[in-house]
Amino acid sequence: MIAGLIYTLIAALSFVMVLSFLVFFHELGHYSVARFFGISVDRFSIGFGKPIWRRTSKAGVEWVISRIPLGGYVKFAGDAGAASNPDAEKLAELRAEYEKDPDGPSIDNVFHFRPVWQRALVVLAGPVANFILAIILFAGIGLTIGNQYYPSNVGSVIEGSPAAAAGFEPGDKIISLDGRDARNFSFVQQYISLRKNTTIEAVVERNGQDVPLTVTPRAEDVNDAIGGNANIGRVGLGLAEGTQPIREEFGVLGSLNYGVTQTTGVLKATGTYIGRIFKGKEDGKQLGSVVKIATVVGKVASDTAKADVPLGVKIKAWAIRMAALAASISIALGVANLMPLPVLDGGHLMYYGYEAVARRPLSQEKQEFGFKIGFAILLTLFVVLTINDIGYLSSIDFS
């Protein structure tokens, strides 16, 4: 009973730590670029709701930690309204309001009176910060433990599988998939998993000769790394027994390159999956909301705590696994925030794009209408993802 409570506490704290860290870094991106341009900031908040801690810096910025650690925000001087992008009429009212307050920030330092390109960079800085953080985290992992992977040596081909129909044979060495280097077996697994019912052009080395093969992965339900159900593409290939892993160790520059490579790899995989959803080739059930994030982070953290290894090994394993998860989630957070919905960073960028072309902001009425539409879409998406999460949760054994 007590052990169960401890593992639950570890899972919950791990989730809060990871999410709060990611939100902090995202908002730090907005904040840093705004301060670089000399834009006044009123508040930097981690979480929503009533503050549980606050401090005002010498620059006049109120730093806040709030009760609900599921988000955060940076409030610039003059922020008002759902769209946070006032039209010409609202800008005139805002200017008059600031001119009446001699103790307030200079109009020149108010976010809304800055050139549109500066405002766009401030908004874009949040998602970019998430991608930079992912690079840093992956680089840190590479510098700490390096990288280990298995070469793509085929050891078994399941009878009646797509691989057997395509002509794969034990002893083949997979060279490429659709022209991409596929000597890493983990890459082969990921590439195939994202392309169920889609033809893949493969090249294998057999008896010193390159042999082209065409294979179509079959959709199958499998358990993922934490035991949750996932419907992915499979072809029926197994790694050759006795295949020795290849280990890479990195210096500082090498680890940075590793961080960039891993980040771009996750971005490409994410883009592929989302693209397949729009093409009707995926049902989107692998996407999840904050519930799935909490489940994955918590399960990995608690499973690490349950491992029968020395405490020091547990702590190191926990740190590495949390860093890897945080990097992947950070990328997802950056991509999600670039969605062209007015309630997200991508929506603000869309409005700024209109302003740059039309030489004037979109009217307040149209902005607010866009906000309502965007909020409705986001709410619908949240409901759909929550349904996905419930199905995913029900497939996991938490014992």
| Rounded Cα gap, residues 347 and 339, in angstroms | 7
CATH homologous superfamily for the domain 150-248: PDZ domain (2.30.42.10)
Give 271's pLDDT tier (boundaries 50, 70, 90). very high
Give yes or no for a contact between 75 and 41, defined as CB atoms under 8 angstroms apart: yes
**Tens digits of per-residue pLDDT, 69-105?**
777 888 887 665 434 566 666 666 667 766 666 666 6
Chain segment 114-141, per-residue pLDDT in tens: 899 999 999 999 999 999 999 999 999 9
Active site annotation includes 159: no
CA distances from 398 to 167, 184, 227, 291, 295 (A): 40, 32, 9, 15, 10
pLDDT range class, residue 237, cuts 50, 70, 90 = very high
**pLDDT given at position 82:** 39
pLDDT reading at 399 higher than 50: yes
> Given 27, 159, 241, 368, which residue is catalytic?
27
pLDDT score recorded for residue 76: 86
Beta strands in the chain (DSSP E): 41-56, 62-76, 147-149, 154-157, 173-177, 180-181, 200-206, 209-215, 218-223, 229-234, 237-239, 246-248
Q: pLDDT digits over 355-375, tens only?
A: 999 988 888 788 888 888 988
Helix axis angle, 2-36 relative to 311-337, nearest 10°? 50
Tens of pLDDT, residue by residue over 14-58, are 998 999 899 899 999 999 999 999 988 888 998 888 889 999 988
Question: Which tokens in the block code for residue 76?
Answer: 């610039």
Joined together, the tokens standing for residue 67 give 């009760």
Alpha-carbon distance values, 109 to 39, 91, 280 (Å)? 5, 14, 47
Q: Check pLDDT > 90 for residue 144.
A: yes
All structural domains of the chain with their residue ranges:
2-133+307-394, 150-248
